[in-house]
Amino acid sequence: MSTQVADASLSLQAALRDVAAEVDRQFDHLLAVPADPRARLYEAMRHAAIGGGKRLRPLLTFATAQLFAVDRICAARAATAIECIHVYSLIHDDLPAMDDDDMRRGKPTVHKAFDEATAILAGDCLHALAFEILADPATHADPFVRNELIADLARASGPSGMAGGQMMDLMAEGQSFDLATVTRCQALKTGALIACSVEAGAILGRVPPEGRTGLRGYARDIGLAFQIADDILDVEGDQDAVGKQLRKDEAAGKETFLTLLGLDRAREQARLLVNQSIAHLHSYGPEADLLRAIARFVLERDR
């Protein structure tokens, strides 16, 4: 391993740690438990939001924001808002009526640790909280910037984004989706929020839409590579390391990148996408090394 790669990997680990600590700090502050009957609701939100996950989306927002010298508090708040949406989607996705999962991030899922009604409400609250955070002037003094963050996150998480993709994913059981449909499904289900995480950094940096082409290409490619890697992890991963039940797609008879491409071609495709995502960053210098390291991490992660 060259020194440069070793350094990038060291600083990626440090960045992952820093961002995870920062997001936990934000959640701890935002989710202070009130002394009234809503305490259980806040405990459920804390259970889901604090101390778990790779925090890939917040890291993408931080890494993009640092390209444009964005204030760290602004980046932290926007990143936390996006993570609110991610966490709410995990809570609802894990419900018995959806994927019916008992474990998430190595802990019992919210409906297991609490109950279904509390899980539904905790998800709904984190959903609202995301927009409350973004609409607050503390996130950015300029209301145009706050508005663009909100519009982008609402689009990425709603029926034309994440939730639309989850619906397609539900419909995938028992139907034989082709590669184009699986790609579109995943572009919505996980790609949209990953793209939004990168876009948020650029919005905070006041980069106009026409200046975001490279970053958008980067985000689209790592989003897809992330999902292919996820499909591979689902088949080859270690359940304890991943922290959730694996091999469920196979049991449900769902088409995935793996069933459609086979393991070797899927792995090759993910590698190509990661290279391509890094190529999109050609106009940036060493300040984009963290984004490059994240792209490689997407492929090599074991959880």
> Per DSSP, which regions of the chain are E strands?
103-104, 107-108
Question: Is 235 a residue that touches a copy of itself (CB under 8 A)?
Answer: no
Measure CA 218 to chain center: 15
Question: Is 52 a residue that touches a copy of itself (CB under 8 A)?
Answer: no
Task: Collect all residues with Cβ–Cβ distance below 8 Å to 277 and sequence separation of at least 6.
Answer: 217, 218, 219, 220, 221, 222, 225, 295
Nearest distance from residue 212's CB to a copy of itself, in Å? 18
H-only helix segments in 31-71: 39-49, 56-67
Q: Kindly list the distances between the CA atom of residue 246 and the CA atoms of 237, 242, 249, 251, 269, in Å, as whole numbers in the listed order.
A: 8, 8, 8, 10, 22
State the Cα–Cα distance between residues 285 and 281, nearest whole angstrom: 8
The answer to whether the Cα torsion of 14, 19, 24, 25 is positive or negative is positive
Nearer of residues 191 and 237 to a copy of itself, judged by Cβ: 191
Q: Which one, of 22, 39, 55, lies nearest residue 301 by Cα? A: 55
Nearer of residues 132 and 287 to a copy of itself, judged by Cβ: 132
Question: Is 172 a residue that touches a copy of itself (CB under 8 A)?
Answer: yes
Q: Which of residues 180-199 bind a copy of itself (CB under 8 A)?
A: 181, 184-185
Q: Which of residues 55-84 bind a copy of itself (CB under 8 A)?
A: none
Question: Is 124 a residue that touches a copy of itself (CB under 8 A)?
Answer: yes
Q: Which stretch binds a copy of itself (CB under 8 A): 64-72, 177-185, 200-208, 215-223?
A: 177-185
Question: Is 246 a residue that touches a copy of itself (CB under 8 A)?
Answer: no
Question: Is 131 a residue that touches a copy of itself (CB under 8 A)?
Answer: yes
Question: Is 144 a residue that touches a copy of itself (CB under 8 A)?
Answer: yes
Give the binding site for a copy of itself (CB under 8 A). Answer: 36-38, 40-42, 45, 88-89, 92, 95, 97-98, 111, 115-121, 123-125, 127-129, 131-132, 134-136, 143-144, 146-148, 150-151, 153-155, 157-159, 161, 163-164, 166-168, 170-172, 175, 181, 184-185
